[in-house]
């Protein structure tokens, strides 16, 4: 059983309250009960502090006086909560060893200490490093490498020439290394361009459920270290994403685009192909990026959500906005 004092010491945080307060789980400010730890990081929820039934709250010094129970004080309560939360994760480790139903190619190399679940398939010349976990129904195709301590959740597919660094976590349904979308029109029909590259994923990346990352046409599609992708993201062939960039769900990045480091891409945004996005750039949800962005900062596109009648009238005006601007210019000139 963890106690307030044990948590305070482990994470180097000052605390208030009975050092022996037991903490056996996590709850929200609104619904936590005795023995649970909650956190307050978003001012929006500050009103819930007074009535919390949590035993311990992680919060900033400014909120500590208003806390009705024991607390841990942090300059960054959200991050402190993140670090504490993993102590309460029950994990889901496979047993060490290879499930008897796994189909592993003779030329594949599986390290002792890897954990391979039922109905997994490991292809020719694939390498599975020590500590890696392949959950049920995962497919590690030809010439793929799964680095140390990677976790492939059920039904992950690495198609071909996909190399994962260490501690990469890939969620169910993700497909890495499928053919990039390369076609050329020839003689009245489409002809396919062979996709001869691979996918290279750095250390500590996370890839969300049903996300797709195509392999490169000639060279590799690359994610540098510590890139975090949410669910249902599409990364086209030969894209390169810089270290520490985080991308929210349903974003589409077209081929050969480069995204810098420490970028934050909002949900369902689109980024066209063959452009460059610099470091420390934030793109708003559902924005479409049609040209390179080099200056750090926040960018957005789109129009506000409105009641449909209002929106329809405004949208109709947009359709002749250029004419309207020219009329305005004429008026200005006539006045001058």
> Among residue numbers 308 through 327, which ones bind a copy of itself (CB under 8 A)?
308, 310-322, 324-325, 327
Smallest gap from Cβ 220 to a copy of itself, in A, equals: 11
Chain centroid to CA 258: how far?
A: 17
**Which tokens hold the place of 10?**
């482990």
Angle made by CA atoms 255, 264, 47, in degrees to the nearest 5:
150
- Residue 56 region, left (φ>0) first, then alpha (ψ -120 to 50), else beta? beta
Residue in 82, 96, 97, 294 binding a copy of itself, rule: CB under 8 A: 82
Phi, psi of 311 (to 5 degrees): -60, -40
Q: Within positions 102 to 131, which residues make up the interface with a copy of itself, using CB under 8 A?
A: 103, 117-119, 121
Q: Within positions 280 to 299, which residues make up the interface with a copy of itself, using CB under 8 A?
A: 282-291, 293, 295, 297-299
Smallest gap from Cβ 275 to a copy of itself, in A, equals: 10
CB nearer a copy of itself, residue 60 or residue 79: 79
* Cα-Cα end-to-end distance for the chain: 80
Residue 314 and residue 331 in contact, taking contact as beta carbons nearer than 8 Å: no
Residue 76 and residue 70 in contact, taking contact as beta carbons nearer than 8 Å: no
Residue 278 and residue 293 in contact, taking contact as beta carbons nearer than 8 Å: yes
Smallest gap from Cβ 68 to a copy of itself, in A, equals: 19
Q: Binding residues for a copy of itself, how many (CB under 8 A)?
A: 132
Catalytic entry in 237, 244, 274, 291: 237
- The 7-46 site mask, x for binding a copy of itself (CB under 8 A), equals ------------------xxxx--x----------x-x--
Q: Does 186 bind a copy of itself (CB under 8 A)?
A: yes
Q: Within positions 230 to 269, which residues make up the interface with a copy of itself, using CB under 8 A?
A: 230-232, 234, 236, 244, 246, 248-250, 252, 254, 267-268
14-22, 57-65, 97-105, 126-134 -> range binding a copy of itself (CB under 8 A): 97-105
Give Dmax over CA atoms of the chain in angstroms: 87
Q: Which helix (H) or strand (E) holds 189?
A: strand 189-192
237 noted as active-site residue: yes
CB nearer a copy of itself, residue 66 or residue 192: 192
CB nearer a copy of itself, residue 65 or residue 321: 321
Q: Does 48 bind a copy of itself (CB under 8 A)?
A: no
118: which residues sit within 8 A by CB, 6+ positions away? 99, 101, 102, 136, 137
C-alpha–C-alpha distance, residues 30 and 174, integer Å: 34
The residues carrying an active-site annotation are: 237
């Amino acid at each position: 059983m963890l106690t307030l004092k044990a948590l305070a010491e482990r994470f180097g945080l000052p605390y208030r309250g009975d050092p022996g307060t037991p903490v056996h789980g996590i709850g929200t400010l609104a619904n936590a009960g005795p023995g649970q730890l909650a956190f307050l990081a978003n001012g929006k929820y500050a009103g819930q502090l007074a009535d919390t039934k949590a035993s311990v709250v992680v919060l900033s010094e400014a909120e500590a006086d208003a806390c009705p129970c024991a607390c841990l004080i942090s300059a960054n309560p959200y991050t402190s909560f993140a670090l504490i939360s993993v102590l309460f994760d029950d994990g889901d480790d496979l047993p060490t060893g290879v499930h008897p139903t796994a189909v592993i190619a003779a030329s594949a190399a599986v390290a002792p200490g890897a954990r391979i679940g039922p109905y997994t398939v490991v292809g020719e010349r694939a390498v599975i490093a020590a500590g890696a976990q392949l959950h049920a129904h995962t497919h590690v195709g030809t010439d793929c490498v799964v680095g140390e301590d990677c976790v492939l959740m059920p039904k992950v597919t690495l198609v071909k020439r996909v190399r994962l660094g260490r501690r990469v976590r890939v969620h169910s349904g993700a497909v890495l290394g499928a053919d990039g979308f390369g076609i050329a029109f020839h003689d009245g029909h489409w002809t396919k361009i062979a996709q001869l590259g691979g996918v290279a994923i750095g250390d500590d990346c996370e890839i969300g459920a049903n996300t797709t990352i195509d392999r490169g046409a000639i060279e590799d599609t690359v994610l540098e270290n510590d890139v975090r992708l949410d669910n249902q993201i599409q990364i086209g062939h030969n894209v390169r994403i810089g270290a520490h960039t985080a991308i929210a769900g349903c974003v589409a990045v077209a081929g050969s685009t480069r995204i810098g480091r420490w970028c934050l891409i909002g949900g369902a945004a689109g980024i066209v192909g063959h452009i460059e996005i610099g470091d420390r750039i934030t793109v708003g949800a559902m924005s479409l990026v049609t040209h390179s962005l080099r200056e750090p900062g926040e960018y957005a596109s789109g129009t506000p959500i409105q009641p449909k009648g209002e929106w329809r009238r405004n949208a109709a005006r947009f359709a002749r906005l250029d004419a309207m601007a020219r009329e305005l210019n004429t008026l200005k000139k006539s006045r001058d």
